Amino acid sequence: MNTKIKNIINGFYYSNEILLNIKNKIKNKKKPSLAILNIGKNISSHIYIKNKINACKKIKFTYQIYNLSQNISQFKLTNLIFKLNKKKYINGIITQLPLPKTLNINHILININIKKDVDGLNPINLGKIMINEKTFKTCIAAVITYIFKKKNINNNLYATIIGTSITVGTPIILELLKKNISITTCNEFTNNIIFKIKNSNILISAVGKINKYNYDIIKNKILIIDIGINKINNKTIGDLDFFKLKNKTKYITPIPGGVGPITVAMLLKNTFKAYNL
């Protein structure tokens, strides 16, 4: 995939730009520190964690990985979070998602200290976003803002967002509403999605399911941000058909190499922010 084509958003390039900027701002010998809680043996989670570790190494962040049993109890996991909350040298805490179904995700996330919640997913921090209080943006919302800034995307636009999860879709919706962009939201129960996106200037898909639309109906010069991750025959692809869409878009994010690397960079940007609190 040629990510040098002008309309392709090269996530690796922008990730490096963000990370270098952080690295140049670290003046103390004490480095920012990130704690990553990994529950179970989800293969995708291990890949994501490896990417985060590589980014930490690149800019000399310290990190601690806690590999925990798939069968860990809610009580034990919460107790570990409480201990990490109290450790002054740890600036950021994340739980790698998805969690096993035996664990209550909201209960886990709300127990992460809001000043160490560098994923921005503690319900308290999400609530602050809704009322425009300063706090950590979710990493994916920060990615959207960054892309809009870099590509000079204005507010007088119409967006369709496919996927409304509390960890991805909802933070994006809140971010676009703050930018006064008109929005249509769709989920797995929405009928005739293609007609919802027919007049869209922006299409964001965050489902994790391949969508086989009639792409001819989509506007030319549309901005497409594909966040979905799908594995087909050992290949990683997005929700949308990149090769069918790339020639009619104003900008498009590839999978892999689009949103993912920038999201990791935003995680470390939040960790650096926590380090400076």
Q: What is the tens place of the pLDDT at every residue in 65-81?
A: 999 999 999 999 999 99
Mean pLDDT of 148-172: 90
150 within 8 A of 6, measured Cβ to Cβ: no
Distance from C-alpha of 10 to C-alpha of 12, rounded to nearest angstrom: 6
Distance from C-alpha of 125 to C-alpha of 188, rounded to nearest angstrom: 27
Task: Determine which of 102-116, 160-174, 206-220 has the lowest per-residue pLDDT on average.
Answer: 206-220
What does the pLDDT read at residue 191?
85
pLDDT at 41 over 90: no
**pLDDT tier, 1 (very low <50, low <70, confident <90, very high otherwise):** low
Output 226 or 211, whichever has higher pLDDT. Answer: 226
The average confidence (pLDDT) of the chain is 91
pLDDT at 153 over 60: yes
Output 42 or 88, whichever has higher pLDDT. Answer: 88
Query: What backbone phi and psi angles, to 5 degrees, belong to 160?
Result: -115, 130
What does the pLDDT read at residue 4?
57
For the stretch 238-257, pLDDT in tens is: 888 898 888 889 999 999 99
What does the pLDDT read at residue 31?
93
pLDDT at 2 over 60: no
> May I ask the CATH class of domain 30-113?
alpha beta
What does the pLDDT read at residue 238?
85
147 within 8 A of 153, measured Cβ to Cβ: yes
What does the pLDDT read at residue 273?
97
pTM over 0.85: yes
pLDDT at 272 over 80: yes
pLDDT at 39 over 80: yes
CATH number of 139-260: 3.40.50.720
What does the pLDDT read at residue 241?
86
What does the pLDDT read at residue 71?
95
| In the chain, domain spans | 30-113, 139-260
